[in-house]
Structure 1
Amino acid sequence: MSTKGSMLVLTDDVIVSASTISNVVRELQIEGCNGAGPLIITQATSLSQLPLESSTLDVVISISRTIEFPNDHLYKEILKVLKPGGLLVVHHTSSMGPQTGKATSSIERKLLVAGFIEAQSVQLGPALTAQSFGIRAKKPAWTIGSSFSIKRATKSLPKVQIDDDLDLIDEDSLLTEEDLKRPQLPPIGDCEVGSTRKACKNCACGRAEAEERVQKLGLTVDQLNNPQSACGSCGLGDAFRCSTCPYKGLPPFKLGEKVSLPGNFLAADI
């Protein structure tokens, strides 16, 4: 890969040799900006931000001895100063031994989280020490906030044709004579006419079942007109009545007397 343009070299060391930089540039086939030398920043660990404007560099090379450099904040600064499509090369001058694969995977994840793409290990040549390893990544070619139009599809959707010979089933033919019959509603009885009237023969309102339950309990007419529960708290008010009390919602009364409501009980107050 050949990349031309402005270049920045970052290192956590006090000095970095020119031969190390030239070997990295040559092995990765990175060309400087019109023959000019790269900008070098040493002891970059203490930097809170890079002294460069946004989107001004084509290549950034990081040379260090530990995987702690660059840190997550510096990765974001590098992403900011790189141009869209710019290249970042992370080169470590010391090997991690058996942990090299784990270290490269960790750096690749950090690059992806920082916003870089195509993060991958680099196969270094014989010019660099056998104990070193490198990782290369790119800044996305688009900028934050950019927009582009999506071309409309010129091809129309395929038309669906139904063969005339295809046998279609009439939905009405699936109905039987029983389905077409009009449903018979149960006859309306007169169970609710009169307070002493018994349930009709074909009772459908539930009065017949209620009368059957009363007969099983053996209640008298007087008990039905003035019911009392076994707890004896019916006359004390709702605070003392059970959940099935027939006097729920009625005012307190003396036990034994018939409960009667005034004619205007259900009338609105206002």
Structure 2
Amino acid sequence: MDLTGMKNSTLALVDHVVVPLSAVLNAVRELGNEGLGPNDPLIVTQASSLQRLPIEPSSMDMVVSISRSLEIPGNQLLDEISRVLKPSGTILIQISLPTTEHTVKPTSTLESKLLTAGFLEAQVLQMKPFIPSDDDHSFTIKAKKPSWNIGSSFPIKKMTKCLPKVQIDDDLDLIDEDSLLTEEDLKKPQLPPVDDCEVGSTRKACKNCTCGRAEEEEKVQKLGLTVDQLNNPQSACGSCGLGDAFRCGSCPYKGLPPFKLGDKVSLSGNFLVDDI
């Protein structure tokens, strides 16, 4: 029988061959669901024999299962119930067992099966048997389908790292470091000159010369040349800078190493030291 065209909000699954409509209506009313449509509830008998429920996915608000065995509903039927239930839909299971059958905590078995099938908020209810019987004892449990469907997604909020706040005690006496500076500290330091000798058109070595000018002047005096002749040598014949082999007998640069005209003549530190 094809039931895909039905738009029922409540589905009843029973393993009985025949079940009175009042039993299902009582179960729905016990949960406070009075708003049943003209075709509600939809009842499927011998539901345990079905491999697949002929109902559209996510089309039922509530599914009621009434059976006489802990094996019903099985895992396959629970998967089908989850498929046809709408998100946040309710499943209500009542199992009636003979009073002579001693079962240890049947509700724990039902809760485990529901949680394994993906249902949430499983809770045991104290309800009267939907199908009254003098020889049976009933157990009722209710659960909910999650509010999301398989394959649905939702954004995850990214955790923002917050810098730790520095707790400042207003009672602490803070000292301004600038107030510790004196007038002497604020004065601009006087840097020593690079050359400690006199500065002018004609520089002379000072008494305690440490820049090397005194040694240069001593070399100039021994050679009989002026400072300008050493710093900017010139030649009328053009051969003075080539060395003694090209210099005449009266050349003022005789004895000096070769040099380039216009460039300072470089003298080594021991140039005028007598060889022993």
Tell me what 2:75 maps to. 72
Q: Distance in 2 between matches of 1:46 and 1:98?
A: 24
Ranges in structure 1 where 5+ consecutive residues have no aligned partner: 164-270
TM-score where L is the length of structure 2: 0.51
Are positions 1:81 and 2:107 aligned together? no
Cα 1:161–1:102 shift into 2, 3 Å: same
Q: Equivalents in 2 of 1:51, 1:126: separation in Å? A: 27
Tell me what 1:145 maps to. 151
CA contact (8 A) 1:57 1:81 kept: yes
Please say if residues 62 and 91 of structure 1, whose CA atoms lie closer than 8 Å, have aligned partners that are also in contact.
yes
Aligned residues of 1:95 and 1:133 also touching (Cα < 8 A): no
Structure 2 counterparts to residues 169-184 of structure 1, below 5 A = none
Code of the residue aligned with 2:108 in structure 1: it is S
| CA distance in 2: counterparts of 1:109 and 1:103, whole angstroms | 10
Please tell me the residue identity of whatever aligns with 1:87.
T
- Which has the larger Rg? 2
Match for residue 126 of structure 2? 123
Give the secondary structure class of the aligned counterpart of 2:122: strand
Tell me the number of residue pairs that the alignment of Structure 1 and Structure 2 aligns.
162
Matched, 1:132 2:135: no
Structure 1 residue 106 corresponds to structure 2 residue 109: yes
1:44 pairs with 2:44? no
Shift of 1:33: 3.6
Contact 1:27 1:125 in 2 (8 A): no
What is the deviation of 1:54?
A: 1.0
Say which of 93, 118, 129 aligns to 1:90: 93
Partner-residue secondary structure (3-state), 2:105:
helix
Moved over 6 A (4+): none
- Percent identity, please: 52
Aligned to 2:23: 20
Q: Match of 1:66, SS?
A: coil
Whether the aligned pair in 1 keeps the contact of 2:10 and 2:62 (CA below 8 Å) is yes
Supply the AA of the counterpart residue of 1:13.
H
Take 1:44 and 1:152, find their aligned partners in 2: how far apart are those partners? 46
Relative to structure 1, is the Cα distance of residues 127 and 45 closer, same or farther in structure 2, using a 3 angstrom cutoff?
Answer: closer
Q: Map Cα deviations across residues 57-76 of structure 1 (whole Å, 9 max, x no partner).
A: 11000011111111111000
The amino acid of 2:64's aligned partner reads: I
Q: Is the 1:96–1:103 Cα contact (8 Å) retained in structure 2?
A: no
Q: Structure 1 residue 51: deviation in Å?
A: 0.4
Aligned-CA RMSD value: 3.2
Could you tell me how far apart the structure 2 residues matched to 1:66 and 1:38 are?
23
Gaps of at least 5 residues in structure 2 are: 1-7, 170-276
> Which residue is 1:58 aligned to?
61
TM-aligned CA deviation for residue 99 of structure 1: 4.5
Alignment of 1:150-189 (within 5 A): 150-151=156-157, 156-160=162-166
SS state at 2:164 partner: coil
Shift of 1:46: 1.0
